[in-house]
Amino acid sequence: MTGYVCKYTPVEIIRAFDEEVYRIEPKIKSVEGVMSLTHPNMCSFMKGNYFIS
């Protein structure tokens, strides 16, 4: 199983390798929470998906 966060993940390619895919959608309510769970070099778009106000 492969988990992903970014909506631009090429899911069809992952499925072509007979892998299950699962979209991870955490419910974090603060920017500090996002920053504590992600690496500074990770995609800012992905970090924005984590943040839910």
3-44 pLDDT, tens digit each: 887 778 899 999 999 999 998 876 767 777 777 777 888 777
**49 pLDDT more than 80:** no
Quickly list DSSP for 1-53. Answer: -EEE--TTS-HHHHHHTT--EEE----B--HHHHHHHS-TTS-HHHHHHHB--
Position 53 scores a pLDDT of: 47
**50 pLDDT more than 70:** no
Position 51 scores a pLDDT of: 58
